[in-house]
Structure 1
Amino acid sequence: MSKVSYLTPEGYEKLKAELEELKTTGRSEVAAAIAEAREKGDLSENAEYDAAKEAQGLLEMKINELDKVMATARVLDSSQLDTSQVTVLSKVTIKNLKLKKEMTYHLVSESEADLKTGKISVSSPIGKGLLGKKVGEIAQVETPRGNIEFEILSITI
């Protein structure tokens, strides 16, 4: 059984559009590249053909991965979420107790994570450490540089 992927409605639509793009445009571009390389003669020594076939394999692997994510996707309705503890889709303001620095993160699925916009994956070390915590609790987060303690200041959706 595959693990469930929790997505925002926007993330689901973005993933759906990407998958459709790969299945249509991506496949036709790869097929055209293979056909063009095939026209150049002997396939046993044709590097262009080998590269096009490898690109096709990578494309099909990506399509397969996205299909699996879509098959196990659960779109979360933010109005149904509980703000008493940190869950997927929570916006959490935390304070690094060592540095005395406040940060706000939005916990999302792996496919939607983007640190530049403050979206971190629930499967990241910080995301795992924050899940299930309540306001006022201290989250111990194990990172490659050692343990970091964060105080949960607020939880919103």
Structure 2
Amino acid sequence: MVEKVPMTASGFAALEVELKERQTVHRPRIIEQIAEARSHGDLSENAEYHAAKEEQSHNEGRISEIEDKLARADIIDISKLSGDTIKFGATVTLIDEDTEKKTVWQIVGEPEADAKNGRISITSPLARALIGKSKGTSVEVVAPGGSKAYEITKVEWR
């Protein structure tokens, strides 16, 4: 059985954009670089050629990875979700119980996780600790950097 990858509609769209760019912009550019490097002669000591081939390998690997994720995507429409219990798609406001620092996280699928933009994977230690909890609850998160305690101050669906 094929394992589905939970994803928001915006995450799915972002992967489609990246795939198209890699196929229509990066791929032709890399092919051109390889052709140019080949014209310089001896390939055994041609650093430009080897660098372009390595970039091509990386690009084709990423294309395959994106195609796989898109094929297995289970798109979840967050706009239809509601309630007080935290689940996939929720945007959660937390207060660190030690530092009083406020953070806001949206729980998303692995392919679209981006901590810098406040999006954490459903498989992350923090998301796993939050799932099933509600506003006003305290959670303790055991992460590689040690344990942290947070108070959940808001659960939103946006």
Which structure 2 residues correspond to residues 11-50 of structure 1 after superposition, within 5 A? 11-50=11-50
How big is the shift at 1:64? 1.0
Tell me the secondary structure at the aligned position of residue 99 of structure 1.
Answer: coil
Which structure 2 residues correspond to residues 62-81 of structure 1 after superposition, within 5 A? 62-81=62-81
User: Does the 8 Å CA contact 1:92/1:152 hold for their aligned counterparts?
Assistant: yes
Q: Could you say what the CA RMSD is over the residues aligned between the two structures, in angstroms?
A: 1.9
Q: TM-score, normalised by structure 2?
A: 0.87
Which 4+ stretches in 1 moved above 6 angstroms? none
Aligned pair count reads: 157
Q: Distance in 2 between matches of 1:150 and 1:53?
A: 47
Structure 1 pair 128–45 and aligned structure 2 pair: CA distance change class (3 A): same
Q: TM-score, normalised by structure 1?
A: 0.87
Stretches of structure 1 that go unaligned for 5 or more consecutive residues are none
Q: Distance in 2 between matches of 1:116 and 1:55?
A: 26
Residue matched to 2:89: 89
Tell me the secondary structure at the aligned position of residue 43 of structure 1.
Answer: coil
Tell me the secondary structure at the aligned position of residue 45 of structure 1.
Answer: coil
Q: Which range moves more in the overlay, 119-128 or 48-57?
A: 119-128
Which structure 2 residues correspond to residues 130-145 of structure 1 after superposition, within 5 A? 130-145=130-145
Query: Is 1:56 equivalent to 2:52 in the alignment?
Result: no
Q: Distance in 1 between matches of 2:30 and 2:104?
A: 42
Q: Which range moves more in the overlay, 2-11 or 41-50?
A: 2-11
Percent pairwise identity? 38
